[in-house]
Amino acid sequence: MDKSGMPWHLRYLGQPEIGDKNRYALVRNCVDIATSDNLTDFLVEMGFRMDHEFVAKGHVFRKGIMKIMVYKIFRILMPGNTESIEPLSLSYLVELNVVAPAGQDVVSDDMRNFAEQLKPLVHLEKIDPKRLM
């Protein structure tokens, strides 16, 4: 959002797979779609309603197939106005994700090994989506 004309994208995240509890990472289906800038109008026409919006400002790093995002989340004070924001906290969120074919459980070990290098600054934690509802 810092630069006008940048591409928009829509990401659908499926339900977490029920699998091995010893797995270090949450596994779910993911669909990324490139869109035009009238995405919000299209979604409203389809019957969706806005639940919440936020601004994430930070950096994206890559290491092999891993994508590491370090960012702060900001609350939007006036809906639709991304200039009027305030931080939700003083902390940064570190997100590590990998897009890989189904059945590649060894990727979660790679993620754990990378996260171990960030200790004690960052603690790898699987988030249970059911707790957030």
Write down the architecture of domain 8-131 according to CATH.
Answer: Beta Barrel (2.40)
Each residue's pLDDT tens digit, 29-75: 888 888 888 888 888 999 999 888 888 899 999 988 889 999 999 99
Domain ranges of the chain: 8-131
Task: State residue 72's pLDDT score.
Answer: 93
DSSP the chain: --STTPPEEEEEEEEEPP--TT-SS--EEEEEEEE-TTHHHHHHHTT------EEEEEEEEEETTEEEEEEEEEEESSTT-TTSEEES-SSPEEEEEE---TT-THHHHHHHHHHHHHTTT-------HHHH-
